[in-house]
Amino acid sequence: MRFLTPLLIACTGAPSSAPEPTPDPKPEAPAPAPPPAPAPTADDVSKDTDISGMSEEERQAFLMKLGEKVYTTGDGGIACVTCHMANGQGMKGAFPPLVGQKDFMGDCKNHAGLIINGLNGEIEVDGVKYNGVMVPQGDALNDLQIAAAISFVRNSWGNDYGYCSPEDVKAARGG
Ligand code: HEC
């Protein structure tokens, strides 16, 4: 009783405006088992995703989503949209278009090399001359991001040139 008495006094002496006691937390619901292969959404495409276990269909969907992210936000690099514009139409005389029949679309290694090493010097696209500088992004972007960015370009806005893999990018880096 030596300790109980002061405790009782402390309790009864509590001001009536004392906050309601917080209700007991509900018992934890069992965590739902994670789905075997969660389909990637636009928000959760990470550049560190391992796509090796994905089906061909999942892989392509993933590359398109991550590619769109790289194209529009940069995802750690410089967003392609800044220069090549929202629909890949570029800006006549300043930034070449990425839509339509283009030589670089043919070969994934060559295409990846353009992103890794950048490009400068005069080129002619659709009869228009360009002599600008595209900054190299081989350090800013990893193999998966570059594979995704070029796959996105190759399959957007009416382009239909197939997909490129991180292995293509690795080969383009000389690895
Ligand atoms: C700072 C502006 C800028 C950014 C950002 C940029 N580019 Fe470029 N890009 C250029 C310019 C300028 C050229 C043409 C260079 C020249 O005149 O030699 C070019 C050329 C290209 C080419 C070759 C076009 C052809 O017809 O040969 C491709 C492909 C390309 N860019 C893709 C991309 C992709 C994909 C990204 C994003 C990862 C990107 N670029 C980001 C400015 C940019």
Q: What does pTM read for this prediction?
A: 0.80
Structural tokens at position 158: 């009416």
Ligand 1 cavity residues, CB under 6 Å: 70, 78, 80, 82-84, 95-96, 98, 102, 104, 114-115, 119-121, 123, 125, 130-135, 137, 149-150, 153
Q: What pLDDT, in 10s, does the model give residues 74-100?
A: 999 999 999 999 999 999 999 999 998
Task: Provide the pLDDT for residue 105.
Answer: 75
Smallest Cα–Cα separation from 146: which of 162, 132, 167? 167
Looking at the chain, the number of H-run helices and the number of E-run strands are 6, 4
Report how far ligand 1's centroid is from the alpha carbon of 169 (Å): 17
- pLDDT category at 9 given cuts 50, 70, 90 is very low
Domains, the chain, ordered by start: 56-170 (1.10.760.10)
Atom of ligand 1 nearest to the CA of 133: 12
Structural tokens at position 152: 């996105």
Summarize the confidence of residues 46-70 as an average pLDDT: 97
CA angle 7–13–16, rounded 5-degree value: 130
